[in-house]
Amino acid sequence: GIITDLIYMDVGASESGTRDASIGRREIPVNASADIDLDLESWVWTLAGYYRAVDQPGLTLDVLLGARYLDMEQKVEWDITGDVGPVAIPDRSGKVKESLSNWDALIGVRGRFAFGADYAWFVPYYLDVGAGDSDLTWQGFVGIGYAFRWGEVVAAWRYLYYDFPSSKAIDDMSFSGPLIGVTFRW
């Protein structure tokens, strides 16, 4: 069979702050403020073929072989202002933007362990590991699900990790969080 998975993320954060300075208990007429914005936008696409190695009523195990593509852009903007007493310090602002495109080959396993009446309850699992443009990437998830006649519902926790070569602008990154899915059968 063939499986595919597509993740799109557009996340960011902003931070603003002001700082006064003092030496001991004596205030120094220094005042600085900073505004910093971080934005991260990325696409992660996994495509793999699989072979069903184990197919029993309560257990399935698929062996995967495929590839994962990462396209990411990270932007940081800052604006720092301040003064020392009556002397104004020149404002400092800037922007840095880094992009990264990455292809990795991967191998892995996926499947489920079913239990209960009619094997309606199940524990899905997935694990892959790979390398290529990155030194290492791996992804895994585990959860709980329930099968109906029309399909199934799954709640799981997912983790995706990348370790990049030292020549890349980004050293490593990881994403993790809940996964909720619905599968329809026809």
Q: What is the pLDDT of residues 94-117, one digit of tens each?
A: 899 988 899 999 999 999 999 998
What confidence tier does 185 reach under pLDDT thresholds 50, 70, 90? confident
Q: Provide the pLDDT for residue 19.
A: 65
For residue 20, the model assigns a pLDDT of 65
CA-based nearest residue to 31, from 101, 78, 91: 91
Per residue in 117-160, pLDDT (tens digit) is: 899 999 999 999 999 999 999 999 999 999 999 999 999 999 99
**At CA 146, angle to CA 145 and CA 152, rounded to 5?**
95
**C-alpha angle with apex 125: 154 to 160, nearest 5 degrees?**
95
Looking at every residue in the chain, the average pLDDT score rounds to 90
Q: How far is CA 166 from CA 62, 133, 169, 171, 172, in A?
A: 34, 11, 8, 6, 9
- Kindly report which listed range (45-49, 73-77, 165-169) carries the lowest average pLDDT score: 165-169
115: how many CB neighbours lie within 10 A of its CB? 11
Task: State how far the Cα of 140 lies from the Cα of 40, in Å rounded to an integer.
Answer: 22
What does each C-alpha distance from 91 to 33, 35, 94 come to in angstroms? Answer: 10, 12, 10
> In sequence order, what are the beta bridge partners of 30?
84
Tell which residue, 8, 102, 105, has the closest CA to residue 48: 105
Q: What are the distances in angstroms from CA 151 to CA 37, 65, 74, 186? A: 43, 26, 38, 9
pLDDT digits (tens, 9 = 90+) for 3-23: 999 999 998 888 887 766 677
**Tokens 């799981």 appear where?**
156
Q: By C-alpha distance, which of 171, 170, 124 is closest to 146?
A: 124
pLDDT at 72: 92
Top pLDDT among 78 and 146 is at: 146
Of all residues in the chain, the percent with pLDDT exceeding 90 is 66
Q: In what order do the strands lie in the sheet with 26-56?
A: 2-23, 26-56, 59-84, 87-115, 121-132, 136-147, 151-163, 172-184
Q: What is the pTM of this model?
A: 0.78
